[in-house]
Amino acid sequence: MTDRPLTLMAVHAHPDDEATGTGGILARYAAEGIRTVLVTCTDGRCGDGPGGVKPGDPGHDPAAVALMRRQELEASCDVLKVSDLEMLDYADSGMTGWPSNDAPGSFWQTPVQEGATRLAELMRHYRPDVIVTYDENGFYGHPDHIQAHRITMAALQMTALTPKVYWTTMPRSIVQRFGEIMREFHEGMPEPDPAEAAAMAEIGLPDDEVTTWVDATAFSGQKFDALAAHASQGENIFFLKMGKERFGELMGMETFVRVQDATGAAIPENDLFAGLR
């Protein structure tokens, strides 16, 4: 027996990823007395500036955006009752194909071993029982999400720790429902072209391949408020337009694929800590 608290570590790429992907589990497990550690890998400098100004446009100040997004991240963590926030502070690499992908010091240009060494130090310090990050495609192909996956898996190899490890995913049934709701909120929205539709069809996993379904509906209000804390990022507005009740219906269940486990807990499971308590 040990006095060390059960610990969840979520490794995310940008400020606001913690809310969209794992806001429910962070809030739920914090409420259950579990220590929640959030590692955010980049500074978010490629996000929107005040008034929605885009990277590369006049008036976009990357350093000012990074500072603003850090403040938003801290506010989100307060809402979700995150125990510990750790920032690696690599420069945001931007979306696939952006010039910022090639910028010296960007997360995408950082050697995996360098990032993994820093993350391994945090793993040894916090000794997480559960680690959550993205799959090898970063869920939808974002360079920084892919890099977060790479450094997480490499860091695990550097330690002697044997946590349960999960990758975020989304059941295809919910992906389809997302598309329906987006069209509902955007009247006259055209049907996606075949290439776009085919790409969307590849996001997530068939429902029967999802190993872990965590019901965080009771905490969806906190998740909504955490997302709202990232007010500068226009892409969040779609979710917030739903209102809390609708948001909770769609975003209350958080789903994962278990990729490492030493507990022998049966799957499918409804608790990331199954077999640990």
Give the gyration radius of the chain's Cα atoms. Answer: 18
Contacts for 57 with CB less than 8 Å, ≥ 6 apart? none
How do the domains of the chain map onto residue ranges? 7-170+207-260, 173-204
What is the value of pTM for the model shown? 0.92
Task: Give the CATH fold of the 7-170+207-260 domain.
Answer: Rossmann fold (3.40.50)
Per-residue pLDDT of the chain (277 residues; tens, 9 = 90+): 457 899 999 999 999 999 998 999 999 999 999 999 999 999 999 999 888 889 889 999 999 999 999 999 999 999 999 999 999 999 999 888 888 898 999 999 999 999 999 999 999 999 999 999 999 998 888 999 999 999 999 999 999 999 999 999 988 888 777 767 766 665 555 666 676 666 666 778 889 999 999 999 999 999 999 999 998 887 667 788 888 988 888 899 999 999 999 999 999 999 999 999 9
Phi, psi of 167 (to 5 degrees): -110, 135
H runs (alpha helix) in the chain: 17-31, 62-80, 112-126, 143-158, 172-185, 194-201, 220-229, 237-241, 243-251
